[in-house]
Structure 1
Amino acid sequence: MFRKQKSGHIIQIPSHGGFKALAGCGVYNASKFAVEGFSEALSQEIAPLGNKLTIVEPGPFRTNFAGSSFRHAQKIIEDYNLTAGSFRERMK
């Protein structure tokens, strides 16, 4: 539709996890970095068609991320206690 009308604006909302990685959040950060890269490329592809793309990266805000939806690994590897393990402890 945007291509046909030669105008439009896409808003992508990854998160601040798309530009700052933290130990213990590798998979989460990878998904957010992927949205960032995809959005930057898409922005260049749609610009000649009169369309725009904005990436909004909100800071932390209250969700159920660390609540009942958060799952802990069943096996804990002690070698990671000082890195990813510290994140695990903060989530408790």
Structure 2
Amino acid sequence: MNEYRYLRLCVMWQYQAQVEAIVDKLHDRHKLALIEGDKELAYVLEIERDITHQKLYADRLRLEEIIRWLEFDADLRKIGETYPSAMEGLIA
């Protein structure tokens, strides 16, 4: 396993831990509010849960994109290229 694969796994573990710690608890509170018939609270919790989950997912995607760029940069350096010079070859 190379360092980039390890970083991807760390990002996934972090995301999963945050979902379990935050989103799952909001989901449980949402279900409880529905069971108790408090539709207003359930609606608020559902929105909060969805927004939180979307933010965590967007953060995960951003981190994965950074890792892809780091890996791409390392691969280019191995062959003695840079991103601008590699792109110039594709455009020309």
Same fold (TM over 0.5): no
Q: Which has the higher strand share?
A: 1
Larger Rg: 2
TM-score under structure 2 length normalisation: 0.35
Q: Which has the higher helix share?
A: 2
TM-score under structure 1 length normalisation: 0.35
Q: Looking at both structures, which has the greater relative contact order when contacts are Cα pairs under 8 Å and sequence separation is at least 6?
A: 1
